Structure 1
Amino acid sequence: MKAVLPLIVDEQTIRDALPAIDVKAALTAMFRALAAEQAVQPPQTLTLLPNDAGDFITYLGALGDGKAFGAKLSPYLVTGGKPIVTAWTALMSMETGHPLMLCDAALLTTERTAATTAVAVDALARGEARRLAVIGTGAVGLAHLRYAAPLRQWASIRVFSPGLSDSEAKCAAVRAVDARAQICATIEACVEDADVVMLCTSSGQPVLMRESLTKPALVTSISTNVANAHEISPAWVPEMDVYCDYRKTTPASAGEMKLAAQHGWSAQSIKGDLPALLSGTCGKPAYERHAFFRSIGLGLEDIAIAHALYRHLTEPSRAQSLQ
């Protein structure tokens, strides 16, 4: 059998292609496929490297409609200096078994993380929600702002991260994403009267305290891959209506959910996940108390966006231009 070489896609090619890809639509279709059992999402796996040299997380997924199986491979390598963190997504055909594409997943990870939160905000936030707060202004935070901005007719968009108000360059980067963004000097000022609070940090410890919120709100969290990382206190979780990206896998990986067991919380208390929300098989928050949405990053999210990229790059007009 003749060897089939995969398409190798670097960061610049992805950056050029992203404006033409509807990431939120691709993820919405994927979660609906998951609800219809037309996609498969195994748990992510963590491999600890010998001699405390770091770890390797593997995110798997199979997308039935796209006839694609894939894996995102993400090492965390301890070097003695700054750790090396990379991510690559491999895509294979479920029809031929041949490799289709190997792509740098750094930009795609940022996009799918923010777009997944946007899908959740669209599904969970009150229709009349008008006050948005964003905590964290790194690449992921700015992507969250970009994806969330068109979801509601926001009367205010407030943003906070440590040192942001003292850096005109960072403030300019935020306003370049959305000119309506107001830079806040404290978290408390940022989240006052907020309807939606998006936590977009790499913190392993809580960054938002329950007393900072002045009314029932939707809080979204992505956190980081540090063991048991959490952006809110685990003790707060039992007091919230909890949703997640995928209830079969998220509770085993999300730090605050694992630690919330010490406070009497159980994964059985989860109100719903994105497949259930998008298929209409679970209820939405009544906002008699805070709602919490937790995303850990699914292999299927990586597969869905990689497949959308692959289709874009292999369209006849695009393929000809690459020759």
Structure 2
Amino acid sequence: MVNDIPVMAEPPALPVEKVLEALRIAFTDLVQRRAVQPAQTLTPLVGGGDVIASQGVLEGVYGVKVSPYLPQAHGGPVVSAWTLLLSTGTGQPLLLVDSAELTAVRTAATTALAVDLLARREADTLAVVGAGPLARAHLRYARAVRSFADVRVYSPAVAEGRRAAGFDDGVRLASSVDEAVSGAHVVLLCTSAARPLLDAAVLPAETLVTSISTNAPRAHEIDPQALNKLDVYGDHRPTVAGAAGEMVLAAEAGVWDPSMLRGDLSELLTGGCPPPSGRRPVFFRSVGLGIEDVAVARLLIEG
């Protein structure tokens, strides 16, 4: 405790359904102006590296997550994340929490919310590309919104037999991206790739592909040239097109425009945008939002 503020270096696990419901409420409140989502800010550091700050306001709570990215002379960069919650009534701190695990949770839960809203009801075949903590969290949350009978996982490490921990017996390890994705109704891209892993435009109509952000500049897991052949959605319309690498690159190449974004999570939850057309593959891109961090961290003090 610091000045009677709970400090959590290892936050407890949260129930999946509780997290999903918290995000549904947060995104609904956002479109109904009961929540505030400022733009993310990036502050460069002298000598290299940066700090990303993600803010959000939900009922009674302001929160900010700070995420330093600190290159090292030897070895990989140091990356951390801490979330601070303040009461909007008293201005007093409510919680300081290490957000490493919470970031994986809120990212996976946001993707699962998109799966629930965008994947066809009978979707029962899932491909996960990636095998790290984010991939495992995505699998756990995706299974909470659909009953997948066939689950395939691919990553180079898994294909080479170097890592398969964290996956149950109901998961089939694929030897290539193509093998994992073939016939899948939902494809979750959960990697740190800075270049395309697949051409989403050649997938069957109604196939849902999701993608998340990484620290790599202009990172993109699908070919930017494919965007104009997809039904494209994002987590938050005002911010996603300016931050998602494939959207920025496609706009610069003149093959796609942010006005072509069909909708975001708030609009999907409240009927403010059209559903997928059923004629093309569907692509959902998230870049991460402060209200997601606040919604999940707030669960830790609500009990």
TM-score (norm 1): 0.89
Give the 3-state SS of the residue equivalent to 1:263 in structure 2. Answer: coil
SS of the equivalent of 1:116 reads helix
Find the aligned partners of 2:20 and 2:302 in 1 and give their Cα distance. Answer: 16
Q: What's the offset of the Cα at 1:309?
A: 1.1
Structure 1 counterpart SS, 2:287: coil
Matched AA of 2:133: A
CA distance in 2, matches of 1:7, 1:172: 33
Alignment-derived partner of residue 32 in structure 1: 28
Correspondences of 1:1-323 after superposition (within 5 Å): 5-11=4-10, 14=11, 16-19=12-15, 22-51=18-47, 53-63=48-58, 65=59, 67-81=60-74, 82-167=76-161, 170-175=163-168, 179-210=169-200, 213-261=203-251, 262-312=253-303
Could you report, residue by residue, the CA deviation over 1:271-296 in whole angstroms, capped at 9, with x for unpaired residues? 01000011122111122111100000
CA contact (8 A) 1:192 1:212 kept: no
Counterparts of 1:162 and 1:222, CA distance in 2: 18
The Cα shift of 1:20 comes to 8.2
RMSD of the alignment, in Å? 1.7
| Identity level (%) | 46
Q: TM-score, normalised by structure 2?
A: 0.94
Give the counterpart letter for 1:8 in structure 2.
Answer: V
Distance in 2 between residues matched to 1:159 and 1:200, nearest whole Å: 10
2:204–2:281 CA contact under 8 A, matched in 1: no
2:192 corresponds to which letter in structure 1? Answer: S
Q: CA deviation at 1:167?
A: 2.5
The answer to whether the 8 Å contact 2:159/2:176 transfers is no
State the 1:125 CA deviation. 0.3
Q: Tell me the matched-pair count.
A: 300
Q: How far 1:213 moved relative to its partner?
A: 3.0
Give deviations 1:11-37, integer Å, cap 9, x for gaps. Answer: 2xx1x3424882111111111111111
Give the C-alpha shift of residue 41 in structure 1: 0.4
Q: Structure 1: which 5+ runs fail to align? A: 313-323
- Which of the pair has more CA radius of gyration? 1
